Amino acid sequence: MEFVALLSSGKGTWSQVAGLVNRGEWEKIFLICDDSIISKVKHFDFSKKAEIISVDFSKPIKEIIEELRRKLKNKFSGMEIALSIASGDGKEHMALISALLGIPVGIKFVALTREGILEF
C-alpha cells in the first residue's frame, strides 16, 4: 500500500510522520509539504525514502485541491492509500483529502501508537 503524509505545522508532528515512514512497510511514500519548507524537509533522513510533493498552501483551497489532484494523479497503483494528517491544519487536511477522493482513491487513516501502526 502507498503512504501519503502531510508535513506542515504542529509541534512534534513530523516525528509522527517519521515514525510511520520508518516503521511501515510501504510500496511508495509521498510527503506533501508547502513550497516554503521543502528545503527543510529534505534535510531529514526519513524524507529520503519518499517522493516529496510541494504545494503552495497560501493559495485559495480550490486551487490547492486542483494542484494536489494534478500532482498526485497516476501516482498510486492500488485502490486505497494509507494517509496521515497528524501534521497540518484544517484547510490543508480538507484540500488533501478532497484531492485524493477526487482522483479517486480510497483512504485508510494511519497513526503511530505505542502498540505500532494503527489503521482506521
What was the pLDDT predicted at 21?
97
Contact 108, 83 (CB under 8 A): yes
For residue 28, is pLDDT > 90? yes
- Domain range for 60 is 6-119
Contact 7, 17 (CB under 8 A): yes
Provide the domain count of the chain.
1
What was the pLDDT predicted at 20?
97
Digit-coded pLDDT (tens) for 85-110? 999 999 999 999 999 999 999 999 99
Output phi, psi for 23, to 5 deg. -100, -20
Does any domain span residue 48? Answer: yes
Digit-coded pLDDT (tens) for 33-84? 999 999 999 999 999 999 999 999 999 999 999 999 999 999 999 999 999 9
Does any domain span residue 47? Answer: yes
What was the pLDDT predicted at 4?
98
Does any domain span residue 1? Answer: no
